[in-house]
A and B are shown apart, each in its own frame.
Chain A
């Protein structure tokens, strides 16, 4: 039997966005990944409250939601920094020195892949090929692709992007 749909967890308007996505998909359980994308777009990461809300809304066990959230690399279970720097570690970028970029970033900003700086300004992540191989080594900073820079030049550029 279908359980009644839960109330929004709080007055935060972002829950309405999440709810709208689930409604658009008819609260179907198979649109779970869509719902989790909506949560992450709205809040930046998935916490227990959000996963419980999604599970109750879609009438799925929380274990299933947690299982899906932890399976896929893109879903974050911890709060992220205000800026995201995704270093591509695909083959072309590897050949062109993505490793040196990661080391350079860690040296300058003190965050290794998967970490966030202490002041919460920057999260460093890696991706398996963003498909911008012509610009290798490519880095996606807040959705913008920056390519063809060495560690030093790139870190200068990154510092600039963060300061804005």
Chain B
């Protein structure tokens, strides 16, 4: 199959969908799903069965992925086929009883939106975003293989397999400047070429979908909204590095994502887009899902591989890096969900196009999960380099209930808190590091002036203490001791010597722990000490 054949196939699938004037799309990702989206789909379908009168628009109802504004779900979008979110009429907090009214307004030309449910799509939340990773999210039906192909899906894979050598694929990714979206920010092209340069033989690609940072749900949204996008990215990666087997390591806490991924793999295999002789080429690639079982440390790549091998999720020292000595000792490429989801557009549009987005050293866009004390909670995708202030106050809509902003926490338990004074810092890998925090996987928790920073630090330390795997002493004992000290400070039972000991422990644990979990566990303490030291000192006896 070449690229023209795929275009014919996409055209055929588009015809099969039938020609409706408008699509009524209902978000069926987790947040909306649990707010009652399936009932809304049923009610809309029932309303759509009423035949349209002469001169009215015909409507088709479909379930789609995440539209981003998760705090006011279920979301419904009425749009022309192929239109994106900004070109849609959006509704918020839709109940099954609203279905008939929405359908009436959609059908009648010039009727306008239903005012009481309307959610303006020209507000900054939507207008300021740029969708690369999430371009299909909220538009395609995540359970439909045909729907994905119809919007141009798998074109990048077919192009790579039939028109490009593995080295050309890697060059394109290197040119793009893409950096790992799991938090570390390692250049993706470099990682790929390291694996590709290893001697021929058994190689693996792994997708790290063990999104453990509390307050982060970007990867879940990609998996639930556009699972084929991930499979396509993994297949291209496997072709580039010379692997024929892939594993997706996903948290068991995401049942809906697991289900959709399984469906996607099954359908892709049946259509010959995964498995042996993909699209009638010589390339074979098979993907298997591995379920996590609730261990945060398994997000660390060596621990993740130990878990895929069926053992306890213990990390091991690096080097050797997985690129040389990975799964069962074979060269292994590990990337995060969002990294793989960036690959298809890079191949289709070229690395130069991608490199034109973002800042000098951080290219492209980044998906963030906005949560906590913020008006517009949900998922956003913006260019790298947008300032925190723009993200929180323009897109996020600021702090609710008339409270004042106090800090934003990025990077989960490995990151830190950024206060008001630094909100004008552009968000990219390097500038966040200078603030004592990190990009992390993309969770942003906004806190208002009621938050107590010692409590916040203690919360994260408790998390790290619970999740420490116990293999190395600095992390196992250090997190325990630091938590004890923070607890005493929070209860106003500590002395100045305790605070000094806490600071010393931070340095020791950071310098001597085996893996990223321990090395970054002191970050929340260090960053809150840096910006909110007075809150600690107020509590000292």
Q: CB distance A95 to B447 under 8 Å?
A: yes
Query: Which residues of A have CB within 8 Å of B307?
Result: 33
Asked whether B445 is an interface residue with its Cβ less than 8 Å from the other chain, the reply is yes
Produce 1/0 per residue, A67-85, CB < 8 A to B: 1100111110000000000
Complex Cα distance, B371 from A109, in Å, reads 29
Q: CB distance B313 to A72 under 8 Å?
A: yes
Query: Which residues of B have CB within 8 Å of A14?
Result: none
Among the 9-residue stretches A3-11, A116-124, A132-140, A149-157, the one with 4 or more Cβ atoms under 8 Å from chain B is A132-140
Q: CB distance B371 to A92 under 8 Å?
A: yes
- Chain A residue nearest in CB terms to B69: A134
Query: Which residues of A have CB within 8 Å of B211?
Result: 131
Q: CB distance B291 to A33 under 8 Å?
A: yes
Produce 1/0 per residue, B242-259, CB < 8 A to A: 000000000011110000
Produce 1/0 per residue, A28-44, CB < 8 A to B: 11111110110000000
Q: CB distance A67 to B312 under 8 Å?
A: yes
Asked whether B412 is an interface residue with its Cβ less than 8 Å from the other chain, the reply is yes
Among the 9-residue stretches B48-56, B142-150, B184-192, B372-380, the one with 4 or more Cβ atoms under 8 Å from chain A is B372-380
Q: CB distance B215 to A37 under 8 Å?
A: no
Complex Cα distance, B455 from A94, in Å, reads 10
Which of A67, A129, A145 is the one whose CB lies under 8 Å from B213? A129
Query: Which residues of A have CB within 8 Å of B214?
Result: 89-94, 128-129
- B177-219 contacts to A, CB under 8 A, are 211-217
A10 vs chain B, min Cβ distance (A): 25
Complex Cα distance, B79 from A45, in Å, reads 47
Which of B73, B296, B467 is the one whose CB lies under 8 Å from A134? B73
**Most chain A beta-carbon contacts within 10 A, residue among B35, B371, B469:** B371
Asked whether B409 is an interface residue with its Cβ less than 8 Å from the other chain, the reply is yes
Q: How large is the interface on B (under 10, 10 to 19, 20 to 34, 35 or more residues)?
A: 35 or more
Asked whether B459 is an interface residue with its Cβ less than 8 Å from the other chain, the reply is yes
Asked whether A130 is an interface residue with its Cβ less than 8 Å from the other chain, the reply is yes
Query: Which residues of B have CB within 8 Å of A64?
Result: 311
Asked whether A127 is an interface residue with its Cβ less than 8 Å from the other chain, the reply is yes
Asked whether B451 is an interface residue with its Cβ less than 8 Å from the other chain, the reply is yes
- B303-318 contacts to A, CB under 8 A, are 307-313
- Chain B residue nearest in CB terms to A129: B214
Which of B216, B294, B369, B469 is the one whose CB lies under 8 Å from A74? B294
Asked whether B1 is an interface residue with its Cβ less than 8 Å from the other chain, the reply is no
Query: Which residues of A have CB within 8 Å of B292?
Result: 72
Which of A30, A37, A94, A135 is the one whose CB lies under 8 Å from B459? A94
Query: Which residues of A have CB within 8 Å of B216?
Result: 129, 131
Query: Which residues of A have CB within 8 Å of B290?
Result: 33-34
Query: Which residues of B have CB within 8 Å of A131?
Result: 30, 211, 216-217, 220, 253-254
- Chain A: residues with Cβ within 8 Å of the partner, total of 40
Query: Which residues of A have CB within 8 Å of B310?
Result: 28-33, 68
Please judge, given known A-B contacts A64-B311, A74-B252, whether A146 and B294 are in contact too, CB under 8 Å: no
Produce 1/0 per residue, A86-127, CB < 8 A to B: 000111111110000000000000000000000000000001
Asked whether B70 is an interface residue with its Cβ less than 8 Å from the other chain, the reply is yes
Q: CB distance B467 to A128 under 8 Å?
A: yes
**Most chain A beta-carbon contacts within 10 A, residue among B34, B312, B372, B373:** B34
Asked whether B414 is an interface residue with its Cβ less than 8 Å from the other chain, the reply is no
A50 vs chain B, min Cβ distance (A): 15
Query: Which residues of A have CB within 8 Å of B31?
Result: 132, 134-135, 145, 147
Asked whether B293 is an interface residue with its Cβ less than 8 Å from the other chain, the reply is yes
Q: CB distance B294 to A95 under 8 Å?
A: no
Produce 1/0 per residue, B208-242, CB < 8 A to A: 00011111110010000000000000000000000
Complex Cα distance, B70 from A93, in Å, reads 14
Asked whether B478 is an interface residue with its Cβ less than 8 Å from the other chain, the reply is no
Query: Which residues of B have CB within 8 Å of A33?
Result: 290-291, 293, 307, 310
B452 vs chain A, min Cβ distance (A): 11
Query: Which residues of A have CB within 8 Å of B311?
Result: 32, 64, 67-68
Which of B70, B291, B460 is the one whose CB lies under 8 Å from A135? B70
Asked whether B494 is an interface residue with its Cβ less than 8 Å from the other chain, the reply is no
Q: CB distance B463 to A128 under 8 Å?
A: yes
Complex Cα distance, B309 from A71, in Å, reads 14
Q: CB distance A127 to B409 under 8 Å?
A: no
Asked whether B336 is an interface residue with its Cβ less than 8 Å from the other chain, the reply is no
Nearest 10 Cβ contacts at the A-B interface: A134-B70, A90-B214, A72-B293, A145-B34, A73-B294, A133-B371, A92-B371, A131-B217, A129-B214, A91-B215
Beyond contacts A92-B372, A128-B296: 4 other A-B pairs, Cβ-Cβ < 8 A, are A67-B311, A72-B293, A129-B212, A143-B255
24 contacts between A and B (CB under 8 A): A30-B308, A30-B309, A32-B310, A32-B311, A37-B252, A67-B312, A68-B312, A75-B293, A91-B215, A91-B445, A92-B445, A96-B372, A128-B466, A129-B215, A129-B217, A129-B253, A131-B217, A132-B70, A133-B215, A133-B369, A134-B73, A136-B371, A144-B34, A145-B30
> Residues of B at under 8 Å CB distance from A?
30-31, 33-35, 70-71, 73, 211-217, 220, 252-255, 290-296, 307-313, 369, 371-373, 377-378, 409, 412, 443, 445, 447, 451, 459-460, 463, 466-467, 469
